[in-house]
Amino acid sequence: MSVEKLKSDLEKVLKKAFESIQKSENSEEIEKARILYLGKKSQINSLMKSLSNLDSQQKAEFGKYLNEAKAKLTSFLEDKKLSISSKVKTINDNFDFSMPGRNSSIGSLHPITKIMDYSIEIFEDLKFECVEGPEIEDDFHNFTALNIPESHPARAMHDTFYFEDGYLLRTHTSSVQIRAMREKNLPIRVIAPGKVYRKDSDITHTPMFHQIEGLYIDTNVSFSNLKSIINTFLKKFFENDDLKIRFRPSYFPFTEPSAEVDIEYINSRGEKSWLEILGCGMVHPNVLKMAKIDPSIHSGYAFGLGVERLAMLKLEISDLRLFYENDLRFLEQFKRAKL
Amino acid sequence: MKLTKSWLEDYLDIEENIANLCNDLTMAGLEVDEVATLTSDHLIDIDLTPNRADCLSVMGIARELNCINNKYNLKKIKKEIDLEPTCENINLQLKVIDKEICPRFAFMTLRNISEAKKTPENVARKLQDIGIGLVHPIVDILNYINIDLGQPMHAYDLDKISNEISIRLSKKDEEFVALDGKRYKLNKGNIIICDNNQIISLAGIIGAEHCAVSSSTKNILIESAFFPPKLIANKARALKLQTESSQRFERGVDYNLPKIALKALSNIISSNQICYFSEIGMFESREFLPKAKEVNISFKKIRQVLGFEIDDAEIENILISLGGDFDREKNKIINPSFRYDLEIHADYVEEVARLYGYDNIPIVSEKIDLKPDAKFLSNIISRQVKDYLYKNNFSECINYSFTNDDPEESFDWKNDSFTEHKRISNFMSIEQNKLRSNISSSLIKNIEHNFNVNPKESYRFFEISTVFGKKEENILTCVLSGKKNEENWDAEQRKFDKYDMTTIIEDLSRLFGLKKNDFSYKISSITKSKKDYIILSVCLDDLTKKIKNNQPESYENYSKFPYIRRDLSFFIDHTVSYEKISKLVEEINVHSLKKILLFDLYDGKGVPEGKKSLGIGFIFQDENKTLTHEEADKNIERILSELKNHFDIELRK
């Protein structure tokens, strides 16, 4: 057998081998090609065996040729193997897109918290600072400093829970504002959110509820400024620039002039009515005096919001009692991060 | 205050329809609560604010409407005529012990009242329209005048009292039976009217039963007096007794009315020929009548407070319309006798704003020159804690701060036995008679409620609230109950345990850059009605304080050299806490020890009695060089020998 013939046989095998390695798409095919072209029973191996029939010069010549070819093929195969193994590919499994996931980890925030935080954020944007104070108050901070003396008929408006030591549960967070006025430097621009208590329990009252009260004291604070801040807040809160708002004269011992604010409310039947939403006014000079602020230099406005009422309107909750039953069927409806 | 439109029309020309009339009242601060339609009339219910005593009469509301808008034209006020008396007044011997308690006392005697006489038709209809029942012709006329003019009067059966009357303040525990048939025990300081024998009336509030007018009454003494608001206020309420009369006196009745009211009475009696009436008798101490208050008006200040340019003329017109004395030259104003609420400048500012119309005042936004203030820390922290918990499957609850005497309430939030609850003196129900000192019992009740109405396998509740222990503290409490997961195709089904709470503490520490022992908290578990509850309470005030002292977050260089890990598995006594072990390891202060990792805790089969098996990984890494295995081995040997020195440990094979 001539070396020429052997070489041409080898060329044919090599050509097929390179092609088939080149075509391989995965490690199984590569392995098949390896066994077929480089394995013990491969043609290349049998060509190897035919070396014994050659003379020594031919043996050396063809042997070298064969070995080089084999090395080339091996390295080509290894390269291919590597390129296949590092290739990015989609894993085909039985993933069911429609299956529910493992347990969710989203709980719920109480709607009072959500409305409170939402309102606080609006006021913080309007540069109000949040302040807090005790829920057990003394008579001075809850009444006297707010121009509600012992015999004042307005005390009839506040049915108050008392303790034996004469202390009481605050009936409004105005008491926190009194503390702010006495402790902070002017100008003061604060809101006081928190729990308040009144001795009242029926369909429209709970003995504990939440308030946000606001106070701004500076030189030249006016009633028209108060109208502006209330308008801005209510329009932002109800996300309605066309919200109809009206101010009505009212009476609070701690403000003069005092106002009650109504918004226009359209029920499901399309009937319009006015709905009382908050009370406000210009801080009474006696309140300023008691906080050691000179009413001839400084003036201020104050307002108070009932959080439950806002929540009922904003979230369309019809029954006040739902807030304090803590029934998951109610609570779990409030999972969203934003209102 | 209820009144009919037609009654108002005794005083006013009303061209407006009922809707506009009510709107005008509401927008001037006399909020119309309800309007009911009657046959050819309207019943208007006005929710009056307590400062407007002057509007507790039809005349007062008519006067107010005329101020609001002069389209409501006051008719020539029906002048009561001075009539010739038809009988003698009694020779009343009145002794006012303390002059200031009754500065004006007018009276009139009515005689010869016949049982056959009926309440005048006009009076009866008006009272019935506003829901006041008829009692007795004279009493009905007094009720009518009370609503019409706002002067409460009282009728005594003249034949049941003596003519020597004294007015004084009550002593504590004096008793009297009122005409509502109830016996009242008086406090100190009620104004009482007595004859020679006994109390005949609780002044300005209610008369006594024994001398009340009845169908058989022949002769009557009418009292029409002025009592100072301060001495009536809260007195009726304290006795749980509120009358048309007390409501007016405590808010302030015009001291000029007593005589006018008696004159009105004589006019009605005369024109309806009900009985004989005497002239008006009067005792008074003028120096104790309320003083008119003079206020200097500053137009500039009014404009400044209202925040817009309102003309002088407009302000003047409003001030004049109020019915007091306004001196244009000196800019001084004196309040009318019926407006007790006009005392200081701010009161007049409100009148100007109110009668100008709040809705007509422009909206002007303020120019704020404030540095953005530091946000209130505790509030922000609560918000972040709530956000973390809600995103970790907890549901937030809000419960009342009130609680009852259940045994489970007798622990404070630290789970220490607690007896010093704040008790409410005037609680509404025994279920809410004190303030809670912990939140967990509320949350457990919430879980029980939910389990009863809508059972689930897993409950995670939390609440942040003030609790009232020895002091007010802001507390976060989380309660877990049931299985860690709701039923799910893959979920691990194990019960909650305390380590679930440890995770929360560790997360909160990480969120706020603290170590888990930096702030106070308590983890406990209880069994109630065969259910287990795991409870975590954290003192947010304390957490806030710690966060305030926190260093700001900053970057530290990390080692770029490889680490070596060595593991130790050993048996150790159950009573040795992990913290003791980790603290000891920390104290050995092995230079290159980066991290300790508890990878196994086991106390089941194969572990000797009273022991647990721990698997701890130690990760060594040097800042400046590659650590050798020899160095790592040396370190782990040192740790092991220290552990052996301090604890009874047995290495596991």
CA distance B411 to B388: 27
- Per the prediction, chain B carries an average pLDDT of 91
Q: Please name the member of A124, A201, A258 whose beta carbon is closest to the beta carbon of B428.
A: A201
Please report the number of interchain residue pairs, chain A to chain B, with beta-carbon separation below 8 angstroms: 235
Residue in A with minimal Cα distance to B402: A208
**Per residue in B399-413, pLDDT tens?**
999 998 888 888 888
What local confidence, expressed as pLDDT, does residue A64 receive?
86
pLDDT of B133 higher than 70: yes
Q: Give the Å distances, CA to CA, from A16 to A22, A47, A61, A62, B293.
A: 10, 15, 23, 20, 119
Tell which residue, B579, B599, B598, has the closest CA to residue B587.
B579
A250 chain-B contacts, CB cut-off 8 A = 29, 31, 49
Distance of alpha carbon A44 from the chain centroid: 68
Confidence of residue B372 (pLDDT cuts 50, 70, 90): low
Predicted model pTM? 0.86
CA distance A265 to B44: 23
What local confidence, expressed as pLDDT, does residue B626 receive?
93
What local confidence, expressed as pLDDT, does residue A238 receive?
95
ipTM (interface predicted TM): 0.87
pLDDT of B492 higher than 80: no
If residue B110 lies in a helix (H) or strand (E), which one and from where to where?
strand B104-111
- Listed in sequence order, the residues at least 6 apart from A116 whose beta carbon sits closer than 8 Å to its beta carbon are A193, A210, A212, A307
Q: What is the mean pLDDT of residues B337-343?
A: 93
**Per residue in B437-452, pLDDT tens?**
999 999 999 999 999 9
What local confidence, expressed as pLDDT, does residue A94 receive?
84
Do the Cβ atoms of A223 and B368 come within 8 Å? no
CA distance B578 to B601: 10
Between A4-8, A123-127, B205-209, B504-508, the lowest mean confidence (pLDDT) is in A4-8
Chain B, 232 to 291: residues with Cβ < 8 Å from chain A are 233-234, 237, 250-251
Q: Please name the member of A157, A247, A329 whose beta carbon is closest to the beta carbon of B359.
A: A247
pLDDT of B199 higher than 90: yes
**Per residue in B551-574, pLDDT tens?**
888 998 889 999 999 999 999 999
Chain B, 304 to 343: residues with Cβ < 8 Å from chain A are 304-308
Do the Cβ atoms of B490 and A134 come within 8 Å? no
Do the Cβ atoms of B353 and A187 come within 8 Å? no
Q: Which domains does chain B have, with CATH numbers?
A: 2-74 (3.30.56.10), 93-288 (3.50.40.10), 294-360 (3.30.56.10), 377-548 (3.30.930.10), 564-651 (3.30.70.380)
B35 chain-A contacts, CB cut-off 8 A = none
CA distance A130 to A125: 12
Q: List, for chain A, all residue ranges whose pLDDT scores fall below the cut of 70.
A: 1, 151, 153-158
Q: Which domains does chain A have, with CATH numbers?
A: 3-85 (no CATH), 111-331 (3.30.930.10)
Between A46-50, A227-231, B40-44, B579-583, the lowest mean confidence (pLDDT) is in A46-50
Between B239-243, B327-331, B332-336, the lowest mean confidence (pLDDT) is in B239-243
On whether the CB atoms of residues B173 and B186 are closer than 8 A, the answer is: yes
Query: Strand runs (DSSP E) across chain A, as ranges?
Result: 129-130, 136-137, 168-169, 188-197, 208-219, 245-252, 255-266, 272-283, 298-306
B344 chain-A contacts, CB cut-off 8 A = 256, 285
What local confidence, expressed as pLDDT, does residue B373 receive?
60
Q: Please name the member of B361, B370, B489 whose beta carbon is closest to the beta carbon of A227.
A: B361
**Per residue in B597-642, pLDDT tens?**
999 999 888 888 899 999 999 999 998 999 999 999 999 999 999 9
Q: Residue B508 corresponds to which tokens in the numbers above? A: 């909160």
Confidence of residue B377 (pLDDT cuts 50, 70, 90): low
